[in-house]
Amino acid sequence: MNLTIVGCGYVGQALAQRLQPKRPQLNLTLTTTRQERRAELTALADRVCVCDATDPDQLRDALRQCSSAVFCLGPKGDRQVDADGYRHTFVDSFTCLQSLLPQLPDLRQILYTSSCSVYGNANGGWVDEQTPPDPGPGHGAVLLQSEQLLLGIPDRKVCVLRLGALHGPGRDLDRRLRGLSGLERPGTGASYSNWIHVDDAAGALDTALHHEWTGVVNVVNNEPIRLRDLAWQSLKRQGLAPVHWLGGQEPGPEGRRIRNTRLKQLGYQLQHPSLDQSGVLASSQTP
Ligand SMILES: NC(=O)c1ccc[n+]([C@@H]2O[C@H](COP(=O)([O-])OP(=O)(O)OC[C@H]3O[C@@H](n4cnc5c(N)ncnc54)[C@H](OP(=O)(O)O)[C@@H]3O)[C@@H](O)[C@H]2O)c1
């Protein structure tokens, strides 16, 4: 297989690491938009391209002769990016890809790491791949438009993997939740979040490549968790004071619980089925 991973950040690089034992049978190309990252990526790949996926010449070069491409793009920079920034990163890149397809006859398989945010709010209800996405305006709408651009491509195997929020080395939850210790917060912390360990994001992508998955697949662990449970478990584990929920009206929507039934039906076995079992959180107990 000739594979190009476009965007080698947290997920793309984890996938590249995971694929190392498959080389040299696997011919691997990695991309970065930053010249200074070439050295870091060179050890992992047969070829490293400096490529902004919105640039047709650079994207064509990165994808030349490849049979499979995985797009793990994310907006650049540390600051929160607005919907226009998202549109530039995703929609412009996939519009560029579409325009190049006649010149890329060898490219049979296209994978994209989208986000469960396309489902929008379901008032705490369960959603699966059959649930019509309803992201509302803004970032989620851009991601949905990006998915539609790819899923509308004829004659290639396209798979959209909707990832939950990522955690893992370098993005550990305890550090992120520490700041909530002892704070007063409105509501009861009822909103749900859905998580996936970066190893499982990479594992699902690897399996999707190998078994040529198509369509949409939710990539989340087994246990959506309410913010109050997440915070309580993490702060307890760290020996820190809990959040004091003030009650009253919730400050935001209750969110949704994402089903991963299709992921399992496709044969993927989660390495980290819940936050507990990944060792991130202490044993579960709702206050
Ligand atoms: N992070 C999450 O919790 C989360 C949750 C749900 C879904 N996802 C999905 O997973 C994707 C990947 O997440 P991540 O955490 O791995 O992102 P990340 O660490 O920010 O990495 C994104 C990569 O995209 C590259 N990139 C940005 N703009 C580009 C462009 N125009 N052309 C080519 N490459 C470009 C960057 O390249 P260089 O910096 O090397 O130049 C960076 O390496 C997200 O964008 C999202 O769709 C993420």
For the domain spanning 2-164+196-222+259-265, the CATH number is: 3.40.50.720
CA of 74, closest atom in ligand 1: 45
Check if 32 has its Cβ closer than 6 Å to any atom of ligand 1.
yes
Q: What residues have CB less than 8 Å from 216, skipping those under 6 apart? A: 129, 147, 151, 159, 160, 162
Check if 93 has its Cβ closer than 6 Å to any atom of ligand 1.
yes
Q: What residues have CB less than 8 Å from 276, skipping those under 6 apart? A: 223, 233, 282, 283, 284
Check if 193 has its Cβ closer than 6 Å to any atom of ligand 1.
no
Ligand 1 geometric centre to CA of 131 (Å): 25
- So what's the pLDDT on residue 167? 96
**Cis peptide before 24, with omega less than 30 degrees from 0?**
yes
- So what's the pLDDT on residue 285? 39
- From CA 148, how far away is CA 218, in angstroms rounded? 16
- From CA 200, how far away is CA 168, in angstroms rounded? 10
- So what's the pLDDT on residue 284? 40
3-state helix, strand, coil in the chain (%, to 5): 35, 20, 45
Nearest to 135 by CA among 160, 114, 161, 165: 114
Chunk the chain into consecutive blocks of 10 residues (it has 287) and report each block's average pLDDT, rounded to whole numbers.
Answer: 97 98 96 96 97 98 97 81 90 98 98 97 97 92 96 97 97 94 97 98 98 98 97 96 96 96 98 79 42
- Residue ranges per domain, the chain? 2-164+196-222+259-265
Ligand 1 geometric centre to CA of 8 (Å): 7
Q: Are 88 and 73 in contact (CB under 8 A)?
A: no
CA of 93, closest atom in ligand 1: 31
Ligand 1 geometric centre to CA of 74 (Å): 3
Check if 52 has its Cβ closer than 6 Å to any atom of ligand 1.
yes
Q: What residues have CB less than 8 Å from 237, skipping those under 6 apart? A: 174, 281, 282
